[in-house]
Structure 1
Amino acid sequence: MSIQRFPLAAVQQVRQYIQNAIVVDADKQVQTWTGIDDIDDIPEPKSLDDLSSVFAFGGLTPEEITAPQSLRRWSVSMVNPGAALLKLPGLDLKPTWRLVSYLYRDGDNGAGLVLAVPEELATTAHLEKALPASGNFKQPPKPEGALMDFMEAIDGDRSAVSFLVASLLCRELREFGALGAYRNWTHHRPIDAIPQRAKWHWQTEPPKDLAPKVKVLPDGQAVVEFFTCRISAGIALYRHLDQYPVNQYKPKCIDKALATPQR
């Protein structure tokens, strides 16, 4: 099957949409899991190209994110990560599963955790039961019934669009709640051409085509390729290659630095 290419603007719009849907702010921290009626009012896009119409509802930038008052410990977050799936084309949650989230704060630094749990266990009371056994950042909560990887709870129509969206979704959800030193993916910007503001030292031959692209194989496997530029400390050009097995949306991700600025 031929490779399908996507415009960079579509990738940027999908990313912004997901970020707006899962932003951590003070108001959402006091909402319940079902307190997302405002998101339901967003017009539903039919394809990636239609996503430009969904951003009128606004949202906070990463610099405007506020943190709960907890310090050096995990807490249950009232943000519903599943809200990001409400308007994305091609993807959905598997029946009876819910996405839930936790937050970790340490001064100006912070991290988050997104998990998939059975629907009947997606209550604040149940999630809080896992907190006493948690510790520092490296000891996150492990609620009963949670999947090892939240992407195991994602399903879709196996279209090329759905795989590109899944690759962005998994990275954004893994960056959920990140602040300060815990940010990584936040510093990456999708690109479709080599930035000309710097001279680059390449570890391999420069790629000829940096457009985001997807190939769906006849047996149902899929491959997603796109490129980013990390714009903060550790500046580099990256190639992201995600491989999707048959009947799954849990990708094997390879994120490799291809070039760094010449000194």
Structure 2
Amino acid sequence: MSTQRVPLEALQKIRQHFKTALLVPKAENYPEIYLDREEPPAPTSLQDLSSLFHFGGSLEEAFQMPNRQGQWFISTANPGTALMKVPSLKLKPGFRLVSYLYRIGDDGTGATWALPEQFSTTSHLEKALLTAGDRDMPPKPESALADFMDAIDGDHSPMSFVIASLLRCELLEFGKVGRIATWSHHRLLNSLPALPNWQWRAEAPKDYSPKVRVFPDGRVAVEFFSCRTVAPIAVFQHVDHYLVGQYQAKHLDRAIAISQPTNGAVKR
């Protein structure tokens, strides 16, 4: 087994590239009701009520429009652009990444899927909206893969698996805002943050350096650490195990230490 340490600066640059590439359009991130239009008058009759359905377009158009009312909609962003300048990874031929967004007030989440290009047309994506529910029941388009990482290919170098682990984190976070955002509040580590009163939930690591291990049979393991910077502040361990020739991994993401406030209580 060979182990290779990865400089923290390299991981930070890769993550910054993904964050820059994976930007939700402003109009979708914080959509406004009746954007750039006057609000329709309150209905006073059935005829007035029916006219509301034609305000600003058809029902189909309204169904697809970005909104903050807790209805899923299709994002115009292309998550696949994150791979355009990454030499070690690429989308498998014939596949595409698509995303749906969900906004309610100032909070929101997203769902990204990998699917064959022939099923990535707007009409196919719209059909999935009919079966969507609340934020925990996103649309799943026809023929979408269970794990979008199954549509990722690469040169299978040790570093490509490190990049794949970061890509997964960023794609899972894509579209999350407000109180639903999670990974956005994490920063990568190569040492324990200098905070008092760490409460350990597992054995303290001897080495916080990001690293990749290649086993004799071709399996690969990636390990790195992060610190959640919002309460409760915590150190997380991330371990991804990759089978031979695959970028779909088994994941372990766990908090191994929590920084207690000076009053002795952990805020939750």
* Structure 1, gaps ≥5 residues long: 30-66
TM-score (structure 2 length as normaliser): 0.80
- Aligned-partner SS, 1:129: helix
> Which position in structure 1 is the counterpart of 2:115?
117
Out of 157, 171, 174, the residue aligned to residue 173 of structure 1 is 171
- Aligned-partner SS, 2:207: coil
- Aligned-partner SS, 2:146: coil
Checking the alignment, whether the CA contact within 8 Å between 1:74 and 1:140 is kept in structure 2 is yes
What is the alpha-carbon distance in structure 1 between the residues aligned to residue 231 and residue 198 of structure 2?
A: 15
One-letter amino acid of the structure 1 residue matched with residue 25 of structure 2: D
**Greater mean alpha carbon deviation, residues 196-205 or residues 123-132:** 196-205
What is the alpha-carbon distance in structure 1 between the residues aligned to residue 196 and residue 87 of structure 2?
A: 36
Assess, with a 3 A threshold, how the Cα gap between structure 1 residues 204 and 144 changes in structure 2: closer, same or farther: closer
Out of 202, 218, 221, the residue aligned to residue 220 of structure 1 is 218
**Number of residue pairs matched by the alignment:** 226
Which aligned pairs between 1:135-146 and structure 2 lie closer than 5 A? 135-146=133-144
One-letter amino acid of the structure 2 residue matched with residue 73 of structure 1: Q
TM-score (structure 1 length as normaliser): 0.82
Higher Cα radius of gyration: 2
What is the alpha-carbon distance in structure 2 between the residues aligned to residue 158 and residue 217 of structure 1?
A: 13
Checking the alignment, whether the CA contact within 8 Å between 1:116 and 1:153 is kept in structure 2 is yes
**Greater mean alpha carbon deviation, residues 192-201 or residues 103-112:** 192-201
Which aligned pairs between 1:1-263 and structure 2 lie closer than 5 A? 1-26=1-26, 68-262=66-260, 263=264
Deviation at residue 110 of structure 1 after TM alignment: 0.2
Checking the alignment, whether the CA contact within 8 Å between 1:104 and 1:111 is kept in structure 2 is yes
Q: After TM superposition, where is structure 1 displaced by more than 6 Å over at least 4 residues in a row?
A: none
- Aligned-partner SS, 2:72: strand
RMSD, matched Cα: 1.7
What is the alpha-carbon distance in structure 2 between the residues aligned to residue 82 and residue 220 of structure 1?
A: 27
Deviation at residue 28 of structure 1 after TM alignment: 8.2
Deviation at residue 233 of structure 1 after TM alignment: 1.9
Deviation at residue 181 of structure 1 after TM alignment: 1.9
Assess, with a 3 A threshold, how the Cα gap between structure 1 residues 198 and 88 changes in structure 2: closer, same or farther: farther
Q: Percent identity, aligned pairs only?
A: 51
CA shift digits 1:19-67 (9 cap, x unpaired): 11111023789xxxxxxxxxxxxxxxxxxxxxxxxxxxxxxxxxxxxx9
Deviation at residue 120 of structure 1 after TM alignment: 1.3
